[in-house]
Amino acid sequence: MRLDELGWDESLAAAYEPWSARADHVPARVAVEFNHLYRVYVDGAEVEAVVSGRLKHHAESRGELPAVGDWVVARTRPEEARVSIVHVLPRRSRFSRKTAGNVTDEQVIAANVDVVFLVMGLDADFSPRRLERYLLLARESGASPVVLLTKPDLSDDVPARAADVAAVAGGLPVHILNPRSGEGAEALRAYIARGGTCALLGSSGVGKSTIVNRLVGADVRKTRAVREADSKGRHTTTHRELVPVPGGGLLLDTPGMRELQLWAPGDAVEQAFDDVERHAEGCRFSDCRHREEPRCAVKGAVAAGVLPAERLQSYLGLQDELAHLARQQDQRAQLEEKRRGRIGAKALRQSLRAKGR
């Protein structure tokens, strides 16, 4: 693929300008990530890549290392088949979550995505609460979210569930499709522009890989059936990958995420819970937490049946989670500052000893 087919444009060329005079450096886009190995698209080819030691050393967090969808500067060497990624160009959008487990760090799931398809099954996978988290991730990313509801043939009340999703989505596009039969899939092609990138996010077994195969027109991604008892899928997609779409555009398929911890939602909570925020304008106290405070308009809306109690519970739960995350990030920043201080002090001692000699 040519660079323009991958999304290269004037703003990216301007960001790459400091490197353009170096004959052994080329712009590239990360197509696949396998732990510490990558495959990248360069102009007209696809090659293996690794991250340079310098980039690893200077990265302050995992989030500064290359992710699928990133535009990067790659150093080539005639004697080596693979290239080295030496720099990550500025991201236009990024999907970040807290790394799984107890480590407080950022994991970039995908970068430079224009449209994100949030995929959820209408079978036992159906969960408006989980969709709320995906919407937070999508709104903060900078990409345009679109909700896809799959497996309508396995739901006994599609209109009711679609209405529940519409209430959570807050005016965002919502499409119902059956990936296996192809019903409704054609509507997605309108979102896939030449040089544009669309990502699919959702839990395992909802049909993401089947959607990719349907839009590409070939079985480029493996698929498996889900368990009938609970609609749980197995991880057939084990890595993130950019897949070219005939006629232009790229699809970014991702593995199902077992854990979706937020990282830095910013104003996305207010956007995703605009119904709660609207009622909050009537609260007696401007800093009302909607818990024990008197004359809380949000709790009043729940009591009157205007606001679902589940929405308020989800909102409060996310606020607690974000407060906990902020404390963890503060602790991490303090530890990093101490580490830098020790490194600086060590460098100063070494310099003084060298001058003493």
> pLDDT tens-digit profile of 77-107?
888 889 999 999 999 998 877 665 555 567 8
Most distant CA pair in the chain, distance: 83
pLDDT at residue 173, as a whole number: 94
Q: Higher model confidence: residue 49 or residue 140?
A: 49
Q: How confident is the model at residue 233 (pLDDT cuts 50, 70, 90)?
A: very low
pLDDT (0 to 100) of residue 104: 56
pTM score above 0.85 = no
CATH number of 4-88: 2.40.50.140
Domain span(s) for CATH 2.40.50.140 in the chain: 4-88
Residue with the larger pLDDT of the pair 253 and 229: 253
pLDDT at 338: 67
Query: Contact at 8 Å (CB) between 122 and 155?
Result: yes
In the chain, what are the helix, strand and coil shares in percent, each to the nearest 5?
A: 40, 20, 40
On whether the 273-357 domain is CATH 2.40.50.100, my answer is: no
Kindly give, in sequence order, each residue whose CB lies less than 8 Å from that of residue 296, ignoring residues fewer than 6 positions away: 283, 284, 288, 290
Mean pLDDT (the chain) is: 83
Assigned token pair, 251: 């699809």
| Mean pLDDT to the nearest integer, 328-344 | 62
What pLDDT is attached to residue 60? 78
The interaxial angle of helices 128-141 and 309-356, nearest 10 deg, is: 40
Type and span of the H or E element at 241: strand 241-244
DSSP code per residue over 285-309: STT--SSS-TT-HHHHHHHTTSS-H
Q: Is the dihedral of CA 13, 34, 132, 185 positive or negative?
A: positive
Q: Is 251 within 8 Å of 201 (Cβ atoms)?
A: no
pLDDT at residue 114, rounded to an integer: 95
What percentage of the chain exceeds 70 in pLDDT?
A: 81
pLDDT category of residue 57 using cuts at 50, 70 and 90: confident
Q: Using N-to-C axis directions, what is the helix angle for 128-141 and 158-169, rounded to 10°?
A: 40
As annotated, the residues of the chain forming the CATH 3.40.50.300 domain(s) are 94-253
pLDDT at residue 174 in the model = 95
C-alpha span between 244 and 196 (Å, rounded): 10
Contact 69, 110 (CB under 8 A): yes
| 226 band by pLDDT with thresholds 50, 70 and 90 | very low
pLDDT band, very low/low/confident/very high, at 322 (cuts 50, 70, 90)? confident
The band of 71, judged by pLDDT with boundaries at 50, 70 and 90, is very high
Tens digit of each residue's pLDDT (9 = 90 or more) over 176-198: 999 888 888 889 989 998 899 99
For 259-270, write each residue's pLDDT tens digit.
Answer: 566 655 556 677
Residues 6+ apart with CB under 8 A from 277: 270
For residue 250, pLDDT beyond 90: yes
Token pair 């509507």 is at which residue? 187
- Tell me how far apart the alpha carbons of residues 275 and 78 are, in angstroms, rounded to a whole number: 59
Please tell me the distance from the alpha carbon of residue 63 to that of residue 189, in angstroms, as a whole number.
31
Over residues 281-297, the pLDDT tens digits come to 999 898 898 988 899 99
- Which CATH number is associated with domain 94-253? 3.40.50.300
pLDDT tens digit string along 142-163?
A: 899 999 999 999 998 999 999 9
